[in-house]
Structure 1
């Protein structure tokens, strides 16, 4: 049945007169065309007393072999329109995978068409996952992690709240279980694929201790986790002591730094010595340092920072990202995928932290050495633009804050007015995805997780 007709057209857009008032915004339509049927999407609807009209984007047509081609000749005036067939949608949007490199993330919203992300493209072009609080971003990241783990990709998650360890258990959420048959997934526990490290094993009983070598700390690191950072004179003492150690080929241990600083005449030395003595008792720098080879290996490694203060969390993110970068650029690591949860705290836009430099370096240079990056945040405007603009794939759940929408618009090429409107009304569990390999952004219903989700609010029932 004809839904309407074309009243004017270019190779990019068309104006329609609509016969069916039930046509929803965002619907995929098929337009008659002399070459091949054209896939179009409704971007706006207008209703007057006389008639209803629509504006559609012309997304392309199939070349007959399942590949999308752009429209090079406008549709004829008077061309009829109808709802698009599944095959046309699938071929033009390019969301289905023909190889094992596809990550199954869900289905095109409102259609029984599975959507797959090309994981090598995510690794080489980076990903931003953003939403307002409670919008489903951590859930979607969990789905991606499940898919990457199945392909034996090393995934490292900087997890400030301890959300991701729940992947060790199979999903027992009643609503998720009810939806699984529709999406063709079954519950699964990933405990065999998970390693968990934490600087605070008292707060995180299942974790192995995360330990760093004190000899690798620089003055910025020490200043960031002590009160030394508030005093330039004290920071200068630490810098000079480190320089003395390096020049004299003495190990940069806390005790050696203390011995050198004790020889200083400045009264500032006493505060520095007190802070260094305190660091000697911090568990993070005791025992044997954690080997990077135990962190970057196939499966999921969770850096569980729950219970650690913000300074220690930032130091952990900094040291791990710095070590991954140093080892990857000399070819000592396999390709890996680094997820930074609460990215606005580690790489903020307005200020710098000790994690800013290593994470920014990975964002800018990591793809050359097999490091993929995923930044996750509910406050996009507060994430460093130097990092965000390096992300060429975006997974956007509901977003309403004007500043955050503006940040997305600045970072995501081709973020149109209609897309801006779309993300503000997305339902929970639905995301707009723009990614390398898909010719156009697509709204996707995220599939149920196979494993248990750990990012549920304490006041939200999962039953």
Structure 2
């Protein structure tokens, strides 16, 4: 039976109204329902609470916003307001799930967490969530990487191929089971390791010894090579590059082979091209057996490109080469649909006012065209204002954790259709571990308490476990031994010291005798 919580008070609009509460245990964000005389049960959400004294009595008022009712798979808002003094009840699970478009089944969905104010699991349809690109945005320390790891766990359970661009080496922790049992119990989550589903590659295997060496294919198209070279080329220099690639066409070649061919050119402008090619060669990422697109994109596998300890310019080069190769393969239908996640996205596709980097163009192309070929992009950042606006606006699903910077909030508002000042306040007031979810995967924006991870978070993983030797249980013999052999360690130390003293005395005597003999024979000198 629905729980009565109060009555509608004062002026009533179709989109908003006030509730005179009869109970004090109603929270901000709670869902309520009102029986409309024409449309039946309508869902609403409490956006704020205020308490004051009136005629010596305490009054508790809630501000509520109408969400609507479901009709023909659409959520509609009543065309006429509720009656004054209409009774208000706490909303039931079924009505919330139905109107908000939340799945009732965990299987083949993303279990993100629990709906704020209710013990209702939030299951998001995978295709609707990632199929039109995703952004995960938050200020530092709000739980951004933790939320991303939860999404990755869910996609791995459903065998979705994943590629993660990981500048700080955060996501290798998917290999380790979580041991925070209290947190997992609250969300009905069990510890799990995805070690058998994670493949980690790194450019710097000294800092990342558990990863495989990342080696990229040195073969380029003319457009690729011009984009990747760390300088702008003149038409003459582009012609030199074209001739060199033409000579090596249909051959397995290295960057050094390319340099040698360019050196054969007579034009003096070749030296700028050679300098750029030497930069590529010296990066070391083209040495060895190159990984293929099929190695990186596999069903049920997360390929982590760990860039920890790699210089920013080389990071840009790696992302550009991998993203371009995968995009071309996807356009040719050679790969299954996959999830491509870019951490610290503001560094790899910055807004034009913050400079341009090597990887900007390809990421813009993927954002605008990738979904047609099953290339699903996810950008993750703590500085939304610094991400390319074209890229951010292409992300249909927005998972936004706490953000307070006015510029970042403005950038988020510009990327979300129908963004309101109320949503901005909601984002400012989110707690750590809470997220506002907006997009096609939900009928209306919802606030979610992100579930506990199945795997360990970076801060809880020890890189090297310190081994503590086992203490042998003290027996009766050990207890009485000191009575007879006072202190064996002191005794052994005393013996050793005596030996050392004797050795020093002998050495001293030998030295003295030798000195005397020398003094006899070398007296005159």
Q: Do the two structures share a fold, i.e. TM-score over 0.5?
A: yes
Partner of 2:242: 243
Trace 1:296-335 onto structure 2 (pairs within 5 A): 296-298=297-299, 299-335=301-337
CA distance in 1, matches of 2:110, 2:25: 34
Residue segments in structure 2 that go unaligned for 5+ positions in a row: 463-525
CA distance in 1, matches of 2:257, 2:404: 52
Question: 1:366 pairs with 355, 370, 375, which one?
Answer: 370
CA distance in 1, matches of 2:25, 2:362: 52
Partner of 1:88: 95
Question: 2:113 pairs with 66, 83, 106, which one?
Answer: 106
Instruction: Describe the shift of the 1:242–1:97 C-alpha distance in structure 2 as closer, same or farther (beyond 3 A).
Output: farther
Trace 1:245-394 onto structure 2 (pairs within 5 A): 245-248=244-247, 250=249, 253-261=255-263, 263-266=265-268, 269-270=270-271, 272-274=273-275, 276-277=277-278, 279-298=280-299, 299-350=301-352, 351-394=355-398
Partner of 2:30: 27
By how many angstroms is 1:291 displaced? 0.9
Partner of 2:491: none
By how many angstroms is 1:282 displaced? 3.7
Q: Is the 8 A contact 2:8 2:19 kept in 1?
A: yes
1:22-61 C-alpha deviation (Å, 9 max, x unpaired)? 6443222222322322211122445565465443211123
Partner of 1:427: 431
By how many angstroms is 1:164 displaced? 0.5
Partner of 1:8: 11
CA distance in 2, matches of 1:374, 1:43: 30
Q: Is the 8 A contact 2:27 2:117 kept in 1?
A: no
Q: Does 1:161 align with 2:168?
A: yes
Residue segments in structure 1 that go unaligned for 5+ positions in a row: 459-463
Q: Does 1:76 align with 2:83?
A: yes
By how many angstroms is 1:261 displaced? 4.3
Question: 1:58 pairs with 62, 66, 85, which one?
Answer: 66
> Relative CO higher for 1 or 2, CA cutoff 8 Å, sep ≥ 6?
1
By how many angstroms is 1:372 displaced? 1.1
CA distance in 1, matches of 2:401, 2:413: 15
Instruction: Describe the shift of the 1:387–1:67 C-alpha distance in structure 2 as closer, same or farther (beyond 3 A).
Output: closer
Question: 1:413 pairs with 412, 417, 428, which one?
Answer: 417
CA distance in 2, matches of 1:46, 1:186: 39
By how many angstroms is 1:86 displaced? 2.8
By how many angstroms is 1:273 displaced? 3.4
By how many angstroms is 1:437 displaced? 3.2
CA distance in 2, matches of 1:24, 1:455: 32
Partner of 1:461: none
Partner of 1:134: 141
By how many angstroms is 1:201 displaced? 1.6
The number of residue pairs the alignment matches comes to: 448
**Which protein is bigger by CA-based radius of gyration?**
2
By how many angstroms is 1:204 displaced? 1.2
Q: Is the 8 A contact 1:171 1:187 kept in 2?
A: yes
By how many angstroms is 1:354 displaced? 2.0
Q: TM-score by structure 1 length?
A: 0.88
Q: TM-score by structure 2 length?
A: 0.78
CA distance in 2, matches of 1:203, 1:217: 32
CA distance in 2, matches of 1:132, 1:398: 6
1:265-308 C-alpha deviation (Å, 9 max, x unpaired)? 43x65465355345434421112211110100022110111111
